[in-house]
Amino acid sequence: MTSIELRRASRWYGNVVAVNDVSCTLGPGITGLLGPNGAGKTTVLHMMAGLLEPSAGEVLIDGVGAASDPSIYRRLTLVPERESAYGFLTGREFVRMSARLQRLPDGEEAATRAIKLVELEDAQHRKIATYSKGMRQRIKVAAALVHQPDVVLLDEPFNGMDPRQRIHMMSVLREEAARGRVIVISSHILEELNDLADTVLVMVAGRLAASGHYRAIRRLMTDRPHTFMIRSSDDRRLAATLLSDASVIGVELTTNGSGNGIIIRTSERSTLTHHLPRAARDAGIRLLEIRPTDESLESVFSYLVDR
């Protein structure tokens, strides 16, 4: 059974730490690597692919160092994030080139199969330069899967794909995972991994911040404390009313450039969003604005690190 193991793997560039002391073991199935841009996801994938040596620790594919031998690429593949491909080649030439460099006995047949897998038969004889972003992603996946590797690493594979293409690609990856392949997908959007990844690893600022089943990670992210900015017809009275709500952790009257308001902090967002309109109506207060203040992806991920 194929496995990828990171043992206290770190990678730094000069003074910048890109990946810091990450340990995990990945087996067959789909693993999601989640994190904001710059979290170190690509560095982790490149270390797994043997393109980067860890500055400290080890990255092993079936117990062997990933960066030691190019023959590892008979069993491992990476679909890079950059959409660049050889624009002067046709899609078919690109996939066939991959098959030939993999020394497959029948490159033509393998290319046909891989192109069919990503549903690009109609465009296979067009130059890649004429492809849309989604089509480029799909032809890259076809070229990567042409030799049916045991380990498939995909860096933001759904970028540029429309919803239909995305659903199709997900089903392709699920089928590949069902064949016992180790598939690792990086993404900065949790929903992309919904119904796809068996396990999600959350990376923030180079560290492994959390890991577990998709639903557990989802719960961690939504059940964290949230902060809202509220403006109403009577902020002071609304603040007093909300203080009696058990889901409210703190209330602060504020004045800023856009006028007066209340900053409210809650541990249960869904409870508050149900309770707030009712409480305002019962008190005869008109709500003018409700705005979350900490919904940026970075703040969500930072919470996971700080918790």
| Binding footprint of other proteins on the chain (CB under 8 A) | 13, 16, 18, 38, 42-43, 46, 49, 51-53, 70-74, 77-78, 80, 82, 84-86, 88-89, 93, 96-98, 100-103, 107, 143
Q: Which is nearer to other proteins, 103 or 278 (CB)?
A: 103
Q: Which is nearer to other proteins, 1 or 16 (CB)?
A: 16
CB of 100 to other proteins, least distance (A): 4
Q: Which is nearer to other proteins, 105 or 163 (CB)?
A: 105
Burial (CB < 10 A; 0-12, 13-18, 19+), residue 53, is: middle
Strand 29-34 relative to strand 56-61, pairing: unpaired
CB of 213 to other proteins, least distance (A): 28
Cα separation, 25 vs 272, in Å, equals 39
C-alpha distances in angstroms, 247 versus 270, 279, 303?
Answer: 9, 13, 18
Cα separation, 46 vs 55, in Å, equals 13
Contacts of 160 (CB under 8 A, 6+ apart): 83, 132, 133, 134, 136, 137
CB of 285 to other proteins, least distance (A): 49
CB of 160 to other proteins, least distance (A): 16
Cα separation, 246 vs 272, in Å, equals 9
CB of 125 to other proteins, least distance (A): 13
Q: Which is nearer to other proteins, 55 or 271 (CB)?
A: 55
